[in-house]
Amino acid sequence: MAIQTTLILFKPDAIEKNLTGKVIARFQDEGFVIRGIKMMQLDDAILREHYSHVADKPFFPEIVAFMSRTPVIALALEGDGVIDRVRDLLGPTNSKAAPAGTIRGDFGEDMMTNVCHASDSPEAAQTELKRFFKAGEVFAF
């Protein structure tokens, strides 16, 4: 595997349930390293860009309402094969189908209320990291 950096967004349900520390601990227990972290309130423009693949769907306003309900935490996470490994740790997008022991299986509720977003490919990670972190906000040490 190769060292990669991925984007994680802690969604409003994770913020409201105070789950971020527990989830970060799971990531760190896997040997992943935090390279950037910040809390931010998402606006319509960034949500429209991030969810452009579903912006024309009837459920898009529900996504915007949910994702702007509270601030989110953006995390730049680095590790060996981190993109696929994080997605395995999270479990399926639909928390109802996620097995116990996965993050979504333990803490999620459904397709949207599922604790975290994680980049699904190296290309997506690169684009998404630039979307949520400015130059100089992801650190290498």
Taking the chain (141 residues) in consecutive chunks of 10 residues, what is each chunk's mean pLDDT? Answer: 96 98 98 98 95 93 96 98 98 97 98 97 98 96 79
* 3-132: CATH class: alpha beta
Enumerate the active-site residues. Answer: 117
What's the DSSP call for residue 114?
S
The order of strands in the sheet holding 3-10 is: 33-40, 72-80, 3-10, 116-118
What is the C-alpha to C-alpha distance for residues 15 and 17, in angstroms, rounded to an integer?
Answer: 6
What is the C-alpha to C-alpha distance for residues 106 and 53, in angstroms, rounded to an integer?
Answer: 28
pLDDT at residue 1 in the model: 79
What's the DSSP call for residue 95?
G
Number of Cβ within 10 Å of residue 99's Cβ equals: 10
